[in-house]
Amino acid sequence: MSEKHEIATSSIQKEPAYTEAIRQPLDTVRLALGERVYVKLRGERELRGKLHGFDQHMNILLSDAEETITHIKFDPVTNEEITSKTTKTSEMIFVRGDLVILVSIPRRAA
């Protein structure tokens, strides 16, 4: 039985040093403080901006934010989907956590 354990542990690869600071999921977001992030929201909305703060409910504070809203309409005559996008910029924006679907942080070099 110990032989199986040795095989299993020997196949584990060493992770990059920054992952050692990650113990809980929100630690990943904490490492992105001060960096530009992508946030996908409910209602076909997306945000990109510099992350200034967040809490356990995923309420988020972004600066230099760019919000993209996708409008989807259906043409009843041709039965086609018509998509348009609106973009707005904000110097500072607060996002309520229950709207957040995804937070993507910048990729780090290993």
Assess if residue 110 is contained within a domain.
no
| pLDDT at site 24 | 84
pLDDT tens per residue, range 66-84 = 999 999 998 888 889 889 9
| pLDDT at site 25 | 81
Assess if residue 24 is contained within a domain.
yes
- CB burial of 49-81 (b: ≥16 within 10 Å; e: otherwise) equals bbbeebeeebebbbeebebeeeeeeeeeeeeee
Our count of domains for the chain comes to: 1
- Residue 85 belongs to what domain range? 2-104
What the block records as the tokens of 11 is 């196949």
Assess if residue 109 is contained within a domain.
no
Confidence at 109, pLDDT banded by 50, 70, 90:
low
Q: Residue 93 is part of a domain; what is its CATH number?
A: 2.30.30.100
Assess if residue 75 is contained within a domain.
yes
| pLDDT at site 87 | 96
pLDDT tens per residue, range 23-42 = 888 888 898 999 999 999 99
> In terms of pTM, does the model score above 0.85?
no
Number of other CB atoms surrounding residue 31 within 10 Å: 16
Assess if residue 77 is contained within a domain.
yes
